[in-house]
Amino acid sequence: MLPRRAALLAMSGSMAGASAAKAQSPDHFHRIQWAAFRNRFMAPEGRIIDTGNDHVSHTEGQGWAMLAAVRADDRASFEKLHRWTNRTLRRQGDELFAWRFRPGAARPVDDPNNATDGDLFIAWALLEAGRRWGRADCTTQGTAMARDILRLLCAQAGPFTVLLPGSQGFQRTDHTVVNPSYYAFPAIRALAMALPDPAWLRLAADGVALLRASRFGRWGLPPDWLTIRHADGALALPGDWAPRFSYDAVRVPLYLAWVGLADEPALIGPADFWSDRQHRHMPAWTDLTNDGISPYAASPGITEVARLTRALRERSRWLADRPVGALDMPNYYSAALSLLAGLAAWDSGMA
């Protein structure tokens, strides 16, 4: 299947329509899952706390929580999340958000750069809130964010139209740095519906092509970070980050599963990696240069993403196998992955 065809499937109106319809009738499991996540990781003012990272907050967590709150029809929590994010992280001069808040620091928001994945999810959540609750202000803000994502975060790198990880710092003299896990195809689909523009299809098609071309190591896995050389489009692992399929790249198969792209190599590779019977435990990561794996097991959240990919590959249903509890949420990121896996299963018809 050509990348353009895969991108069209990922952005198909029929699947998006089904997602919107389901968003109006959230399942019981998601309500329970969201309540457990909210009660543990959301501060009273609407800040999502990353318990594994010095209790910072960032736009990925705000965006994921905002979307989950909409899907659970939890308007009170959504409004707290939205209000805190707007008041604390909104940038001057565009419709994007500063990526991080550090509690207790002299300047809690000390880096004005954005994180594109967070912006995609915030915009998506705003658009869904606008539809669900008749919030014209949310629809307007989500559409304005979509416009600035196209304007500020799409660039050409070699033969690819790419999604920059942030507006600053990723376009170097001879190469561009991208994060494959920032290609949140379900969010891109939602923004394309709100702000129709052929650029979305180019972005999605080249994103699929990039994922197909950037497979490394024994299992053919996408990396956490990737460089694209401007002169010829050559792909390589950057020296600035560990050369791993790890906590970022785990979201690549998640987002492909979310839009039903079961036959993409960037989903098949991780599914094979996680189910390799030679592992003594399910690894949290692998080094893409030597195929070494983490000495410890993957978190429950990564395990849920692995179950989701396996269910999609087997054309079976994804079902929660136990109630949500403290053992399922050892930290913010693991819990967030479990939350997202449930939403992905719901949207893609596997739940």
Which DSSP symbol is given to 299? P
**Tens-digit pLDDT string for the chain (351 aa):** 678 777 776 777 544 434 444 444 556 778 989 999 999 999 999 999 999 999 999 999 999 999 999 999 999 999 999 999 999 999 999 999 999 999 999 999 999 999 999 999 999 999 999 999 999 999 999 999 999 999 999 999 999 999 999 999 999 999 999 999 999 999 999 999 999 999 999 999 999 999 999 999 999 999 999 999 999 999 999 999 999 999 999 999 999 999 999 999 999 999 999 999 999 999 999 999 999 999 999 999 999 999 999 999 888 776 655 545 545 688 999 999 999 999 999 898 876
Q: What's the token pair of residue 153?
A: 């975060």
Closest to 200 in 3D by CA, of 237, 245, 152, 149:
149
Residue 117 falls in the annotated catalytic set: yes
CA separation for the pair 122, 284 (Å, rounded)? 27
Per-residue pLDDT at 322:
52
Residue 128 falls in the annotated catalytic set: no
- Select which of 50, 60, 128, 224 is catalytic: 60
pTM assigned to the model: 0.94
Amino acid at residue number 187: A
CA separation for the pair 80, 48 (Å, rounded)? 11
CA separation for the pair 63, 20 (Å, rounded)? 17
Residue 330, by phi and psi: left (phi above 0), alpha (psi -120 to 50) or beta? alpha
Per-residue pLDDT at 349:
84
Cβ-proximal residues to 278 (8 Å cutoff; 6+ apart), any chain: none
Kindly state the greatest CA–CA separation across the chain. 53
- DSSP letters spanning 211-240: HHH--BTTTTB--SSEEEETTT--EE--SS
In contact, 276 and 283? CB cutoff 8 Å: no
Q: What's the token pair of residue 261?
A: 């792209």
In contact, 267 and 309? CB cutoff 8 Å: yes
Cβ-proximal residues to 274 (8 Å cutoff; 6+ apart), any chain: 282, 283, 298, 302, 306, 309, 310
Q: Where are the domains positioned within the chain?
A: 3-347
- Select which of 50, 95, 117, 148 is catalytic: 117
Domain 3-347, second-level architecture: Alpha/alpha barrel (1.50)
Work out the angle at residue 338's Cα, subtended by the Cα atoms of residues 219 and 331, and round it to the nearest 5 degrees.
100
CA separation for the pair 351, 342 (Å, rounded)? 8
Cβ-proximal residues to 272 (8 Å cutoff; 6+ apart), any chain: 219
Cα 315 to Cα 30, 54, 349: the distances in Å are 21, 40, 10
In the block, which residue shows the tokens 């492909």?
Answer: 256
Which DSSP symbol is given to 166? S
